[in-house]
A and B are shown apart, each in its own frame.
Chain A
Amino acid sequence: MIRHLLSGADLDADTATQILDTAAEMAAVAGREVKKLPALRGRTVVNLFYEDSTRTRISFEAAAKRLSADVINFSAKGSSVAKGESLKDTALTLQAMGADAVVVRHPASGAPHRLAAWVDGSVVNAGDGTHEHPTQALLDAYTMRARLGRLAGLSVAVVGDVLHSRVARSNVLLLSTLGAKVTLVGPPTLIPVDIAAALAPDTGVCYDLDAVLPSSDVVMMLRVQRERMNDSYFPSAREYARRYGLDGPRMGRLPEHAIVMHPGPMNRGMEITPEVADSPRSTIVEQVANGVSVRMAVLYLLLGGNNR
């Protein structure tokens, strides 16, 4: 069993499938009278968030609490980090408090990898810079499997700001491990072609959204990450929306069974129109609910046994 979850590449097909299967059992707990399991009683999970987050932090917190773990929330704002404490010193503090797992989100790519060397507990990457967000990829895979019944052989179009997207990176790694075919779609300025090929050899690249829609089982829209953009990657928001935004007519070109995903938060009107976001094909709300089940599965598999 793995000790940390830092990258979508940490998971082989068997482990990833085990997480998805476990998540399916965890999902059943949400429908019960007592939404709690005793599996992680007495364990401490620290949520260490150096970046703003709503759904991921709440999702991890709910997951840890449903497994009866103690949760300590730490956000950089209002902590010693604001006074200039380094990541390493913060890590040593957490270590001294006896954290069994540290869920970390950090603006610097690779921060969770460094952290993993400093603490004894398990480290879960909850998003590092523009690098990876493996639990998001797991919940996306879970949602696809729940809606479409399988992952092997699915055609998945990942559309938009791939360059800045940790979600895209983790999804490419995980989905190719699980046998899906990923095509990256977006303006050439926002697709790192060499990286796409290095992550998984059969990853496709296409600059024309309309060309890939008719053959896609899943369309995953990515948020345009303006906060990470220092250059002008496209002429205007309107032009971007016209060429790469998913609207009603474009959704009509998808196969009957195809689903539309978005990791959130959405820029409505930019990469996705409200008509699409609120349609029955959209899995955006399901993705949030599935996030808790998948994170329960990850925490249980990392902390549930004696894996040291």
Chain B
Amino acid sequence: MAYPSAARSSPPPQPSVKVILASVDLPRVVDRIAHQILEKTQGATDTVLLGIPTRGAPLARRLAARISAFEGISVPVGVLDITLYRDDLRRHATRAVGPTEVPAGGIDGRRVILVDDVLFSGRTVRAALDALGDLGRPASVQLAVLVDRGHRQLPIRADYVGKNIPTALAESVKVTLAEIDGTDEVRLYGEEAR
């Protein structure tokens, strides 16, 4: 491939897209979070992973698969749809409700780890905590996210973070996962790309 000389002469005003995690990096990050969960929870006993749709759900399944591969423990996995608990329902057209799947053993007295792709304002996690309260009474609740991009609007902090990405408010972070989008990637889009 020739050296891109054209790029030097007159760079066109193209939207800035930066790949934060490529498809080879993302599984390593998931592996690390799985190890951290095992370490911090002394072997992930009495633990339930609940993924927040859309992309938290496959992430939770991947974490459970890795935990099982590392230590042979099978951690129950579920899905927690938070649509009906959002605080911005009235600002948009009616949102479609997704499925909530609670593992057979329930969440009462368990350690629940919420799993989401991007932690931003914290409002999704607030809604998830409200939803959890209606489902049962967990012994404790933790939060695992693939990306923390900052700009919290609520006092919420993640227990497990795949990658911290300093962002401007106008930028956007997009996670793609093989299960849903065909590829594993995390991209940061500049404001003009929105």
Contacts and interface: CB of A to CB of B under 8 A. Distances in A.
Interface in B66-124: 81, 84-85, 89-100
Given A25-B100, A32-B135, A33-B135, A307 B85 contact: no
A306 B91 contact: yes
B100 A300 contact: no
A305 B134 contact: no
Given A33-B135, A37-B84, A37-B134, A25 B93 contact: no
Residue among A1, A21, A305 with the most chain B CB within 10 A? A305
B135 A18 contact: no
A38 B94 contact: no
B90 A22 contact: no
Range, interface on chain B: 20 to 34
B136 interface: yes
Interface in A251-308: 300-302, 304-307
B130 interface: yes
Interface of chain A, main secondary structure: loop
Interface in A17-32: 18, 21-22, 25-26, 28, 32
Contacts of B130: 38
Given A1-B94, A22-B97, A25-B100, A38 B136 contact: no
A39 interface: yes
A37 B86 CA distance: 11
A236 B156 CA distance: 72
Interface in B9-51: none
A28 B100 contact: yes
Contacts, number: 53
Given A25-B98, A32-B134, A39 B93 contact: no
Interface residues of A, number: 21
B134 A300 contact: no
Contacts of B95: 304-305
A34 interface: yes
Interface hub of B97, B100, B136 (most chain A Cβ within 10 A): B97
Contacts of A307: 93-94
B94 A300 contact: yes
A18 to B, nearest CB: 7
Contact of B92 (A32, A33, A306): A306
A113 interface: no
A38 B93 contact: no
19 contacts: A1-B94, A22-B96, A25-B81, A25-B99, A32-B134, A33-B134, A33-B135, A37-B84, A37-B134, A38-B85, A300-B84, A300-B94, A301-B94, A304-B89, A304-B94, A305-B92, A306-B91, A306-B92, A306-B93
Interface of A: 1, 18, 21-22, 25-26, 28, 32-34, 36-39, 300-302, 304-307
- The 6 A-B residue pairs with the shortest CB-CB distance in the complex, in nearest-first order: A305-B94, A34-B134, A39-B84, A304-B94, A37-B84, A305-B93
